[in-house]
């Protein structure tokens, strides 16, 4: 892994009457595409009958007009875009997961990563359960069904199931008559509620998806909250609220979320502008232009320029049409991947001292290629500034960082050595102490990947591919 990968995006809608909920879900998932590009799926419920379609690929590739038409109309729908965290690229891991059991059907979509997935899976398997995929989402579904057999409602089953789920989960469950959204007590991953003028309720990972579906933002789902939406309206179960310190992933603001989203009342765009300004306040080099690496580096670059007075320039054009179909079967093609994805605007950088803003450095190989692109375009100096601290530790809550030995910050003793490796004239990171400044609070967020201090126990979390190992790897 040379760059960070997103986790997943979830979307759900309940209309007051039969409507084209599949189309609304399509628009919502399209807005969440940045959160996962491996696969996507939609399940529609029409008077209790669920129809679904799931496939590998981008939303625009998978859901053709014919597929959307085949899904039909209904009162409810849920959708998902996926990048695998626990469980690899296995077709059985594509969501929504539709579970059919004696008390009825349910469809589940999940963003996050359970830290006790192995423990849950083992307990179910020992009692005779059969798993079709390798993701932790299936364990969540089984846990809900287990309690549903004893409870009077699905929301009550979710309430009981949450006592057994550890780690990060922002989920939506669709039953025959209702949508149930719930978020882990730490609130690691975002989840919000919107409402359309016709009375339809929408649940989504980010507020940008509410906008795409024509819904107005109402509020975030609270950490630990269970939100129940049916034909009577919205109700809330807060049994698990305020049980733990809120721990929204700080990297949602730095990289994952779209800049036009609002998370926890904080503008993602504003947080990135703030990161750039903080970097500029500790800048010690002279330069002629500030540029950002698309997409999440652009806002930080603008903030750096505003604070430093150094002119802002558009340094790169990003090819937005590569998608998952862009493959590099030969080594020479893999080496050219960055050149095809990013192209330098020579007029911006030629003969100039450049400050290049990016959101992170993982292994450093991609950063080195980007720096070389600027030098090939005639930049006389390239000073790299990163709008996050160095990655030193793995993430166990839905971000694909779990191999500490491969992180460049653990391979070199100093920032100067990392700068030399990526070919930069200088390098600097956002200090850990400034992370809270981005969102205007001193705590209430997770920064474990930078500090190693996690809000919950991660000793049982294991690796991303723990359920995909070959016999000789066990």
- Kindly report the CATH number assigned to the domain that includes residue 181: 3.60.20.10
pLDDT at 86: 52
Contact 378, 346 (CB under 8 A): yes
Residues 90 and 217 in one domain: yes
Share of the chain above pLDDT 70, in %: 91
Residues 276 and 361 in one domain: yes
User: How many domains would you assign to the chain?
Assistant: 2
Residues 23 and 154 in one domain: yes
Catalytic residue among 8, 40, 208, 449, which?
8
Mean pLDDT, all residues of the chain: 91
* Tens digit of each residue's pLDDT (9 = 90 or more) over 384-393: 999 999 999 9
Structure-token pair, residue 373: 């692109």
**In angstroms, rounded to a whole number, what is the distance separating the alpha carbons of residues 88 and 38?**
10
Which residues, 6 or more positions from 131, have their beta carbon under 8 angstroms from its beta carbon?
121, 124, 125, 138
Which domain covers residue 171, as residue numbers?
Answer: 8-247
Q: pLDDT at residue 81 above 90?
A: yes
Residues 408 and 272 in one domain: yes
Question: Residue 463: inside a domain, yes or no?
Answer: no
**In angstroms, rounded to a whole number, what is the distance separating the alpha carbons of residues 171 and 187?**
11
Residues 222 and 191 in one domain: yes
The SS3 call for residue 106 is: strand
pLDDT at 83: 83
Question: Residue 277: inside a domain, yes or no?
Answer: yes
Residues 282 and 336 in one domain: yes
Residues 50 and 189 in one domain: yes
- 110 — pLDDT class (breaks 50, 70, 90): very high
- Kindly report the CATH number assigned to the domain that includes residue 275: 3.40.50.2020
- 91 — pLDDT class (breaks 50, 70, 90): confident
Lowest mean pLDDT among 284-293, 419-428, 456-465: 456-465
For residue 231, is it left (φ>0), alpha (ψ between -120 and 50) or beta? alpha
**How many other CB atoms are found less than 10 A from the CB of residue 405?**
6
Question: Residue 101: inside a domain, yes or no?
Answer: yes
**In angstroms, rounded to a whole number, what is the distance separating the alpha carbons of residues 356 and 348?**
12
Contact 80, 125 (CB under 8 A): no
* Tens digit of each residue's pLDDT (9 = 90 or more) over 429-448: 999 999 999 999 999 999 99
Residues 360 and 224 in one domain: no
* Tens digit of each residue's pLDDT (9 = 90 or more) over 221-261: 999 999 999 999 999 999 999 999 999 999 999 999 999 99
Residues 88 and 231 in one domain: yes
Question: Residue 438: inside a domain, yes or no?
Answer: yes
**In angstroms, rounded to a whole number, what is the distance separating the alpha carbons of residues 139 and 312?**
48
Question: Residue 263: inside a domain, yes or no?
Answer: no
Q: pLDDT at residue 375 above 90?
A: yes
Q: Structure pTM?
A: 0.91
Q: Is residue 8 annotated as a catalytic residue, yes or no?
A: yes
Structure-token pair, residue 355: 């400050």
* Tens digit of each residue's pLDDT (9 = 90 or more) over 183-203: 999 999 999 999 999 999 999
Question: Residue 448: inside a domain, yes or no?
Answer: no
User: Strand pairing of 216-220 and 192-195?
Assistant: antiparallel
What is the average pLDDT across 273-292?
A: 97
Element (H, E) at 250: none
Question: Residue 459: inside a domain, yes or no?
Answer: no
For residue 128, is it left (φ>0), alpha (ψ between -120 and 50) or beta? left
Residues 195 and 335 in one domain: no
Question: Residue 50: inside a domain, yes or no?
Answer: yes
Residues 285 and 323 in one domain: yes
Residues 36 and 87 in one domain: yes
Residue 405 DSSP class: G
**In angstroms, rounded to a whole number, what is the distance separating the alpha carbons of residues 145 and 229?**
19
């Amino acid at each position: 892994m040379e760059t960070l990968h997103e986790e997943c995006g979830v979307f759900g809608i309940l209309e007051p009457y039969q409507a084209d909920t599949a189309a609304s879900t399509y628009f919502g998932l399209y807005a969440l595409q940045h959160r996962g590009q491996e696969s996507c799926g939609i399940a529609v419920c029409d008077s209790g009958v669920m129809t679904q379609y799931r496939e590998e690929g981008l939303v625009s590739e998978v859901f053709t007009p014919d597929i959307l038409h085949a899904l039909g109309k209904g009162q409810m729908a849920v959708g998902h875009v996926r990048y695998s965290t626990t469980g690899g690229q296995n077709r059985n891991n594509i969501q929504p997961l539709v579970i059919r059991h004696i008390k009825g059907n349910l469809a589940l979509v999940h963003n996050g990563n359970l830290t006790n997935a192995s423990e849950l899976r083992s307990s179910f398997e020992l009692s005779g359960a059969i798993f079709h995929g390798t993701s932790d989402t299936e364990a969540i579904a089984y846990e809900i069904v287990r309690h549903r057999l004893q409870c009077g409602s699905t929301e009550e089953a979710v309430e009981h199931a949450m006592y057994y789920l550890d780690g990060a989960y922002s989920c939506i469950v669709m039953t025959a008559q209702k949508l149930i959204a719930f978020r882990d007590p730490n609130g690691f991953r975002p989840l919000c509620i919107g409402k359309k003028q016709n009375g339809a309720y929408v649940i989504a990972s980010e507020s940008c998806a509410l906008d795409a579906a024509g819904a107005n933002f109402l509020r975030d789902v609270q950490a630990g909250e269970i939100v129940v939406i049916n034909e009577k309206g919205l109700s809330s179960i807060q049994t698990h609220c305020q049980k733990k310190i809120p721990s929204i992933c700080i990297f949602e603001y730095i990289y994952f979320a779209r800049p036009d989203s609002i998370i926890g009342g904080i503008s993602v765009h504003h947080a990135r502008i703030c990161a750039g300004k903080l970097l500029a306040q500790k800048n010690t080099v002279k330069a002629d232009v500030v540029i950002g690496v698309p997409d999440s580096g652009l806002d930080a670059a603008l903030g750096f320029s505003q604070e430093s007075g150094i002119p802002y320039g558009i340094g790169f054009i990003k090819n937005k049409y590569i998608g998952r179909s862009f493959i590099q079967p030969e080594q020479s093609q893999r080496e050219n991947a960055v050149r095809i994805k990013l192209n330098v605007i020579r007029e911006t950088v030629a003969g100039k001292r450049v400050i290049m803003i990016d959101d992170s450095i993982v292994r450093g190989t991609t950063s080195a290629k980007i720096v070389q692109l600027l030098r090939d375009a005639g930049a006389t100096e390239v000073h790299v500034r990163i709008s996050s601290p160095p990655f030193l530790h793995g993430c166990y809550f839905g971000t694909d960082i779990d191999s500490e030995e491969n992180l460049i910050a653990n391979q070199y003793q100093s920032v100067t050595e990392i700068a030399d490796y990526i070919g930069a004239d200088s390098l600097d990171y956002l200090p850990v102490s400034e992370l809270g400044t981005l969102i205007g609070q001193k705590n209430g967020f997770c920064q474990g990947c930078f500090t190693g201090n996690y809000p919950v126990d991660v000793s049982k979390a294991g690796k991303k591919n723990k359920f995909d190992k070959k016999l000789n790897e066990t």
